[in-house]
Amino acid sequence: MSVMWRAAVIGRWTARIAGTLMALFFLAFFVGESFPNIFRLHWRESLSVLALSAGVVGLLLAWIWEGLGGAVALAGMVLFMPLTGTRGIGLFLVPAAIGLLHVVCWWRLRSTTGVGWEVPRKILIVVGLAVVVFILLCANEMFGMPPLMTPALHPSLELVGTWEANLPTMDAVFTINPDASVSGRIGDATVMNARIIYNRSWFGRLMHWRTDYLIVGDRFTAPLTPRGVGLEGTLFRSQKPFTLRLRRQ
């Protein structure tokens, strides 16, 4: 039984498990953000959504038709990446590589030679447990407010102070205090019962999910990330988002 055959069998299971994780990752965002109406988008955005969807479908299809699913996933991601530019391209290279691995393993395993060898059950159990842990970490990061394992925030001197942003119809002023409480105003409304907290755990930072900080107050939230000398993010108020670019006063 050749080494290449065993490598192909291991590669098949690696691609299946990794592909399922990537598919779940993208599906979670579709569920959380809702699937966009492609008929109301610019043609480039509509095509990118369809290409990404094809990539996700291909990764799941590879469980049944390995070669076809891998080819669909690879083609979808190859089409998707030029449409979105270079931003975040590293993330989308992963499903493309998984699709390619499916195609290579399918091509190698088409013959009947070596059918009797399978991946040892202990390895599958270990990998399965790792998958479960990964999914739980993803769920915690996506749906936790804040996620578990997120430390308490003790604002540094760089964060403490008054920050201001000019929005299209109003301005916003936030004063971050040393005890992590936040005061200020949004337009004519006074900020009440607001605090700033960490918005992600070590896992979220590793995966580049969410923002570093989150201001939570009565009827508004503002996820923020340091950008140069300022803080940038989004103000969610009355279910209407505003882009925030806070600068220290």
User: How far apart, in Å, are the Cα atoms of 168 and each of 88, 231, 246?
Assistant: 28, 17, 14
Q: Please tell me what DSSP assigns to residue 150.
A: P
C-alpha 71/C-alpha 57 separation (Å) is 11
Q: Which residue has the tokens 């009565």?
A: 218
Spell out the residues 6+ positions from residue 91 whose beta carbon is closer than 8 angstroms to its own. 208
Q: What is the pLDDT of residue 143?
A: 75
Q: What is the pLDDT of residue 237?
A: 80
- Residue from 70, 32, 26 nearest 49 by CA: 26
* Domain ranges (residues) in the chain: 3-143, 161-248
Q: What is the pLDDT of residue 29?
A: 65
User: How far apart, in Å, are the Cα atoms of 63 and each of 13, 40, 239?
Assistant: 9, 33, 40
Residue pLDDT tens, the chain, 249 long: 577 777 777 888 888 888 888 887 777 666 655 566 666 667 777 888 888 888 889 998 998 898 899 999 999 888 887 877 655 566 678 888 899 988 988 888 876 555 555 667 777 677 778 777 877 887 788 777 788 888 889 998 889 999 998 887 888 899 999 999 999 998 888 988 899 999 988 988 887 788 899 999 888 888 999 988 889 988 888 767 888 899 988
Angle value at C-alpha 173, between 169 and 179, nearest 5 degrees: 150
Please, are residues 220 and 185 in contact by the beta-carbon 8 Å criterion?
no
Parallel/antiparallel/unpaired status of strands 230-237 and 181-186: unpaired
The CATH architecture one would assign to domain 161-248 is Beta Barrel (2.40)
Angle value at C-alpha 53, between 77 and 23, nearest 5 degrees: 85
